[in-house]
Amino acid sequence: MEPIDSDRKRKKDSVSSTDRPSEEKPKDKRDDHHSNKHRKKSKMSSRDQVKASHILIKHQGSRRKASWKDPEGKVIMTTTREAAAEQLKSIREDILSGKANFEDVATRVSDCSSAKRGGDLGPFGRGQMQKPFEEATYALKVGDISEIVDTDSGVHIIKRTA
């Protein structure tokens, strides 16, 4: 009977991953501009949230040098930040002039997995995206398209949709 008591004591003293303080839990290794999206949603009303689509082009300085388009990162590792920004500027001009459609371009060009949805990130609130991305999105009016926005993920243009 004594081994049972010691087993109980051991189990009682052990700390499961759900009992650990949050800072001890393994960090999510995902590395994109919306890396906080799996956090528990706060009780933020929908009027405090925005909705946006974006086009992301990764470059040598991006923290994760792979994407759905370039799984091994061969193109990303040879793309300078300046080249990525120039490509986005040209895309933005084509969209604003009516030569191209934002969602179509996002589907073909964006390095983000949201490309499958025409760049649509869905609704999000403050604290859920990287700060420069969040600030740029909240500053836009619905329907507006941002200038180039730099984040750790790469360079973006953002279209606020709600």
Residues annotated as part of the active site: 54, 112, 130, 153, 156
Residues 6 or more apart whose Cβ sits within 8 Å of residue 114: 53, 54, 106, 120, 121
* 102 in Cβ contact with 95 (< 8 Å): yes
Rounded Cα distance, 63 and 30, in Å? 11
* 42 in Cβ contact with 125 (< 8 Å): yes
Closest CA to 159 of 95, 99, 64: 95
